[in-house]
Amino acid sequence: MQLIARTEKVARASSAARSRWMPDLAGIVIIAAVGMAGYWLFPDNLALLTRIVAVALLVLSIDLVTGYCGVATLGQAALFGAGAYAAGIACVNGMTEPLTLVLIGAVAGAVAGLLMGSVMLRAHGLAQLVLSIAIVQLFHEAANKASAYTGGSDGLSGLMVSPLFGVFAFDLWGKTAYLFGLSLLVFVFIALKFVVSSPFGILCRGIKEDPIRVRAMGAFVFPVLLKMFAISGAVAGIGGALAAISTQVVGLDSVSFELSANALVMLVLGGLGTLYGALAGTVIFMGFEHMVSAINPFHWMTMVGALLIGVVLAAPSGLSGLLGTISRATTRGKGGRG
């Protein structure tokens, strides 16, 4: 009887685990399906789609520290740029294998994340935001002054990337670059799902909600947040490396304050603390920006601003929060009718 009881308990636990992961599995399939749909529907805009994938990785990295840890930052482009320049410099100096360049970008981003986190986490609130702006401006100026390595204001060009796996060349139409970027995005998204669902991710959310109580429970807040900064930096570095590989040039815009600010806007648009919201916000913002700038090259920023104001007023918690509210209301309505 005890054996039967234990078997039933294991079966129930296994069923609960499957039901918990089914929505995420469906979400990953949808991400891959939407990505492949973009490949077939917009074959002439693969360079733009690859750029969206690279920026989506940046926005995911911001979500880790802002959405899950509650640390406000406007300097995440420093980590993106660190990955881009590290991959670009390595490529110019003869290391041209794409996966190796992505790994170099991830390591450079993680190291930059550790440096950034060790400075920012010494302060709190508004001071953190000011420090993040100062850090990205310092990174930008350093990249500009180190022109012997970075190309300065002219950019780092001449990146000749080897074919992926020795077979798939990075062609002019961007097919290989886009499929490579989409694969990286899906892989990183799956890894981040494990991170945010782990005890470590739960602890990060606890720190965001009440850091004083977490300290009272005996947990060390600083090392936990610093570790998340390193993970966030690695993700942003992968995005930077992808941007360098796909465009074969690295410019100062890769480490600009404007990129950081736009990425944070995309995250707020999609919804903080949800990886899906980070992706949705990036696609909607960059897609809408591309569309309206083609329609009206002179007043497109006005239309983008109007969109953001409308979304923030209608859905203060972002589009993912609005969808969650609608879903809960629908579920309650069905329960009431039942």
Task: Going residue by residue through the chain, which has 338 residues, state the pLDDT in tens, using 9 for 90 and above.
Answer: 443 444 444 345 444 445 566 777 888 889 999 999 998 988 888 899 999 999 999 999 999 999 899 898 898 999 999 999 999 999 888 888 999 999 999 999 999 999 999 999 988 888 888 999 999 999 999 999 888 888 888 888 878 888 888 788 887 778 889 999 999 999 999 999 999 999 999 999 988 888 888 888 888 888 999 999 999 999 999 999 999 998 888 888 899 888 998 999 889 888 888 888 889 889 988 888 888 888 877 777 777 778 778 777 777 666 666 666 665 656 565 555 55
For residue 201, the SS3 value is helix
How far apart are alpha carbons 235 and 278 in whole angstroms? Answer: 13
Helices first, then strands: H and E counts in the chain:
14, 0
Cα separation of the two ends of the chain: 38
Contact 262, 285 (CB under 8 A): yes
Q: Measured between alpha carbons, how far is 82 from 91 in angstroms, rounded to an integer?
A: 14
8 Å CB contact between 237 and 88: no
Residue type, 154: D
Closest C-alpha among 279, 269, 264, 276 to residue 309: 269
CA pair distance 204, 223, nearest whole angstrom: 11
Query: What would the 3-class secondary structure string for 35-67 be?
Result: HHHHHHHCHHHHHHHHHHHHHHHHHHHHHHHHH
pTM of the shown model = 0.88
Helix (H, G, I), strand (E, B) or coil at 178: helix
Q: What is the DSSP letter of 154?
A: G
Q: What is the pLDDT of residue 322?
A: 63
Strand partners, 156: 250
At 79, list the tokens: 């980590």
Beta pairing partners, 164: 168
pLDDT number for residue 65: 94
Phi, psi of 98 (to 5 degrees): -60, -45
As given in the structure block, the two tokens for residue 243 are 């941007």
pLDDT in tens, 33-89: 999 999 898 888 889 999 999 999 999 999 999 989 989 889 899 999 999 999 999
**Which residues does residue 29 pair with via DSSP β-bridges, in sequence order?**
none
Quick one: tokens of 332?
């309650």
The interaxial angle of helices 175-197 and 199-209, nearest 10 deg, is 70
Alpha carbon distance 290, 48 (integer Å): 9
Token pair, residue 115, equals 């440096």
Measured between alpha carbons, how far is 220 from 266 in angstroms, rounded to an integer? Answer: 31
Cα distances (angstroms) measured from residue 27 to each of 22, 30, 53 = 9, 5, 16
Angle between helices 2-41 and 46-62 (to 10 degrees): 140
Q: Do residues 264 and 62 make contact, with C-beta atoms less than 8 angstroms apart?
A: yes
Write out the DSSP string of 252-308.
Answer: GGGG-HHHHHHHHHHHHHH-TT-HHHHHHHHHHHHHHHHHHHHH-TTTHHHHHHHHH
What is the rounded radius of gyration, in angstroms, for the C-alpha atoms of the chain? 21
